[in-house]
Structure 1
Amino acid sequence: MRLLLSTSNIMSGGPSVMRRLGSDKSNVELLNALRSNFVAAQQIEPTHTNGASHDTHSPPQRLSYNDYTTWTSKVGDTLYVPAIDPATPGLAEDRSQYDITVKLFYLPGVPASRRCKHTLEAIELVLKELKISFIDLLIVSFPGISFDADDDDAGEETSNAETESDLESIIQTWRTLEEIYKKGMVAQLGIAEFDSERLAKFLPHTKIRPSVDQINVKDCCVVPKPLILFAKQENIELLTHNDCTDILPKGTTRDLLAKGEKGAGILAATADAEDGGLKGEIETQWVVKYTAVVKDRGVIENKGYFALAEVGSCVRQSS
């Protein structure tokens, strides 16, 4: 069975200036927002919410429910957690008033062969949620890739340089992104954690080049000069972030969804536990984050996450 997790709009307490959101790591924000949305779907008042229905700083402590079918919905082999309200209004103003950025996390342990389907599914969910026809920027994050400013600045080879097969899987994934771009679903494409050496290897294989390279600069270090020069030469904008690559590990996912004091009561406590929850191994497939910023005010009006997980005996065999 597939589990489609959603946070809804975590800015529902009111839009916030962008700089106020920089302190939250994406994995913490995602987990807390999911818990808050599960509680909201049950119409249970979260504890310590400071008056906001989706307060990601003070997550609810009690999430166990007797019957998850009352607040989820099942369509085919997919369980929506919680059920998605089709009456969600989407954006408040005209589409032209927003910059909409989507970041798609391909997760560790998931075969690259699934990425075409995953990419389309994630983008279509965001388009439907915001009731729009395209997004301004799609950034993709590949598993096992991290940016090391010291290595790039020193001119050394990338510490975790890809093998030929790793690079080939990235190139094949990019082909899917280029097709999405050609369909008009995305206005710009971007990548994450590419240093100058990785970019130099990757760019010759692209037809639609990335316009953005988003990097995690640890401890507010200065972006290395070789990358700055190379990005300028290739007309690539450098952005920074504090996202976690492995944003939703399967152990965290089980804790979030399992029967227990802080779980949602959907999964069994362990893969084989006889506690009434869904049995089987759990594997998170992808996570997508979307952000809609009102251009003239510089505030985030709509922000949220979707995540897809698979549970069942077939998960381990297909990995």
Structure 2
Amino acid sequence: MTSGSSVIRRPTVTKSNVELINSLRANIVEAQAAASITGADSSTSSLSETSDGTPPQKSGYPSWTRKEGDTLYIPAHEPTPLAEPRSSYKITVKLFYLPGIPPSRRCEHTKQAISLVLKELGAESIDLLIVSYPGVSFDADDDGDSETSSAEDDSAVSDDSAHGMETMVRTWRVLEAFHDNGIIDKLGVSEFSSDRLAKFLPQTKIRPSKDQINVKDCCVVPKTLIMYAKQESIELLTHNDCTDILPSGTIRELLGPRNQGAGVLAATADADDGGLKGDIAPQWVIKYTAVVEDRGVIENKGYFAMAQVGSCIGEES
């Protein structure tokens, strides 16, 4: 599924998970309305209220989505390439690896996510990619490691049971390969304390140039982190992102059959309502922003996300 809109000229302080879900819902409603208006689904009415006051039916999802192989794109979407030469922009991306997904999938997930962003913007490279590891959070009070014990492999897969720093470093190797190929210029991390950075940096070939942290208490950054970042030439940034940006319950509610749902997922595993059957598991989320540097204007901003239904059907959002 895709979300976002082009030419955004005002800053936002909305939390990323709220922004993501609201954008997805708005894009889906817009696609459903367009399908109804064009008569793409002749069995349904428009989204306006019917004459007897009953809620209208929504267009069946095949009319406003696109399927390619085992992948269903929700909604069907055409890229919006950058309007000016690539050199006019700074493209920043944040890739969220989600809890409960085996780290062994991250190589393929990274390729999928970056490919969608580059296609969307009509670009060949990204200026900065910041990675968000699942379960890793920053505590401004003690500047210590506050990730949970299962932060790096909540699924406990037998063929990849490594946790913590070792798994983060293996994932970083994937991003370093994109840097070596000229696809990513600079790399950054999210929620890294000074202790975590001290353990992480010696194991990297391409060192992170940014550390993005969520400071809850009025942007008070611990002195230890400020000093360490300065020593290692790492720029500190702040963010307003949610650590669990796309819970499975939220995506099921968004795509489910209820009044607020899009009607993509079946009501139950046995329901014969035309929806996709099976459990849904979000896999990753990527947020992108393209800024016209000389004017400070955000021309294009949005999200892509992928979830898996059952054992083989994927949805890109």
TM-score by length of 1: 0.84
Match of 2:287 in 1: 289
Distance in 1 separating the partners of 2:254 and 2:57: 10
1:111 aligns with 2:102: yes
Q: SS at the partner of 1:204?
A: helix
1:160 to 147, 165, 171: 147
The corresponding residue for 2:70 is: 77
User: Does 1:145 find its partner at 2:143?
Assistant: no
For 1:167-192, what per-residue CA distance to the aligned partner results, in whole angstroms no more than 9, with x for missing partners? 11101000000001001000000010
CA shift for structure 1 position 159: 3.4
* Aligned counterpart, 1:51: none
- Listed one character per residue, the Cα deviations across residues 37-80 of structure 1 (whole Å, up to 9, x for unaligned) are 112223359xxxxxxxxxxxxxxxx9962410001011010001
Max radius of gyration: which structure?
2
Measure the CA separation in 1 of the matches of 2:243 and 2:56: 26
2: distance between equivalents of 1:313 and 1:75?
16
* Runs of 5+ unmatched residues, structure 1: 46-61
CA distance in 1, matches of 2:205, 2:262: 44
2: distance between equivalents of 1:150 and 1:77? Answer: 46
User: Secondary structure at the residue paired with 2:110?
Assistant: helix
Aligned residue number for residue 6 of structure 1: 2
TM-score for the superposition, normalised by structure 2: 0.85
CA contact (8 A) 2:135 2:148 kept: no
| In structure 2, C-alpha distance between the alignment counterparts of 1:195 and 1:63, rounded to whole Å | 51
For residues 279-316 of structure 1, what are the alpha-carbon distances to aligned partners after superposition, in whole Å with 9 as ceiling and x for unaligned?
1010000000000111111121100100000001579x
How far residue 15 of structure 1 moved from its aligned partner, in angstroms, is 2.8
The CA distance in 1 between the partners of 2:95 and 2:303, in whole Å, is 10
1:306 and 1:271 map into 2 onto residues whose CA distance is 27
Q: Distance in 2 between matches of 1:314 and 1:70?
A: 21
Q: Note if 1:228 corresponds to 2:218.
A: no
Residues 6-27 of structure 1: per-residue CA shift (max 9 Å, x gap): 11x423xx4314xx21x20000
* CA spacing shift, 1:213–1:162, aligned 2, 3 Å: farther
Equivalent-residue separation in structure 2 for 1:162 and 1:76 (angstroms)? 37
What is the alpha-carbon distance in structure 1 between the residues aligned to residue 211 and residue 259 of structure 2?
A: 41
Match of 2:259, SS?
A: coil
Name the structure with the higher helix share.
1
| 1:209 aligned partner | 207
**Paired amino acid for 1:103:** K
Structure-2 separation of matches of 1:117 and 1:182:
17
1:218 is paired with a residue whose SS is: coil
Structure 2 CA distance for aligned equivalents of residues 16 and 272 of structure 1 = 47
Give the residue type in structure 2 aligned to 1:150: D
Q: Structure 2 stretches of 5 or more lacking a match?
A: 36-54, 151-161
Question: Paired residue for 1:36?
Answer: 26
CA distance in 2, matches of 1:264, 1:311: 15
Equivalent positions of 1:119-134 (< 5 A) are: 119-134=110-125
Residue-pair matches, total: 283
Q: Deviations over 1:130-152 (max 9, x none)?
A: 00000100001000000001011
Question: What is the alpha-carbon distance in structure 2 between the residues aligned to residue 141 and residue 159 of structure 1?
Answer: 14
In 2 relative to 1, CA 266–117 (structure 1 residues): closer, same or farther, beyond 3 Å?
same
CA apart distance, 1:162: 5.9
Q: Distance in 1 between matches of 2:197 and 2:128?
A: 18
Of 276, 279, 292, which residue of structure 2 is paired with 1:278? Answer: 276
Identity over aligned pairs, percent:
63
Tell me which amino acid in the other structure corresponds to 1:279.
K
Residue equivalent to 2:244:
246
Q: Which residue of 2 aligns with 1:312?
A: 310
Q: 1:90–1:117: structure 2 CA closer, same or farther, 3 Å change rule?
A: same
In the superposition, relative to structure 1, how do residues 109 and 221 fare at CA in structure 2: closer, same or farther (>3 Å)?
A: same
Distance apart, 1:31 and its partner CA: 0.4
The amino acid of 1:97's aligned partner reads S
With over 3 angstroms needed to count, the CA separation of the structure-2 counterparts of 1:207 and 1:161, relative to structure 1, is: farther
